[in-house]
Amino acid sequence: MKKYLYIFKSELMTNLQYIFDILAGFITYFIMILIFLYLWSYIYQDPNELINGYSMNQMIWYVIITEIVWMSLDGRSLSKKICNDVKSGNITYHIIKPYHYVEYILFNHLGTYVIRFLFLGILGIVLGFFFLGSFPNVSILSILGVLLSCLFAAIISIFHIIIIGLLSFYIEDAHPFYWLYSKFILVLGTIFPIEFFPKLVQPIIHYSPVFAVSTAPAKLFVNFTSFGFIETIIIQLIHFLIAFLIAHLIYMKGVRKINVNGG
């Protein structure tokens, strides 16, 4: 575990050296939040109106949190890196290293995620308070619960992207699968809460990976309850175990394929 913490720390320090590159990404985030702010302000003629159980304040905070969680991930870069590692054969150099490639990618990218999450989080909170003038009903306990859920969401997302990237062992180009994955998250987990979908679809989304990686932290932030927190963590733990096992299985079979083919 110590070596993985060192990998995490090294990537964390590396990202601090390129902080202006991260800050440049704030422009995209700022524009996205402005678009959703004016969109939902137009839809909610009365700020106190409830639409599917959400006030305008809650709806905008929901979008702010989901965008923070998703944009902090920088999943496209990670997917591209893993695909290139497999297709170029660079992954063979990782195989002989004293660490597991899947865990290496996880802790390495968490170093990137933490820095981006910190700065995007500060920007999002400042923007939300500036435009809305208030926060949802939050406490120290609920903030800690939301942060824990964000961490699980990041880990599960990274495992999902590892799975997509490792598909390059079997297909020529796995990038289209990441594109589909990102669009599912955008439509089903980022733009709208579960309650905005047909009742028949809501349970499917609630127990799907979309909830675990995007919806869960935002729902906790806008309406934190002890039951909701426990249920969220249980769902995220289940998805973590599933993604963990699938990622390791695909990697193991991929490495065996390299060995059989002689590298």
- Number of residues in the chain: 263
Please determine, for residue 263, whether its predicted confidence score (pLDDT) is greater than 60: no
What's the total number of domains in the chain?
1
Cα dihedral across residues 67, 73, 74, 80: positive or negative: negative
What span, in angstroms and rounded, lies between the C-alpha atoms of 242 and 179?
21
Cβ count within 10 A of residue 175: 15
Please determine, for residue 230, whether its predicted confidence score (pLDDT) is greater than 60: yes
Band of residue 25 on the pLDDT scale cut at 50, 70, 90: low
pLDDT tens-digit readout, 53-91:
888 888 989 999 999 999 888 888 899 999 988 888 888
The pTM score is: 0.92
> What's the domain range around 174?
2-260
Token pair of 51 as six digits: 């639409």
pLDDT tens-digit readout, 88-147:
888 888 877 888 899 999 999 999 899 889 988 988 888 888 888 888 888 889 999 999
Cα dihedral across residues 215, 220, 225, 230: positive or negative: positive
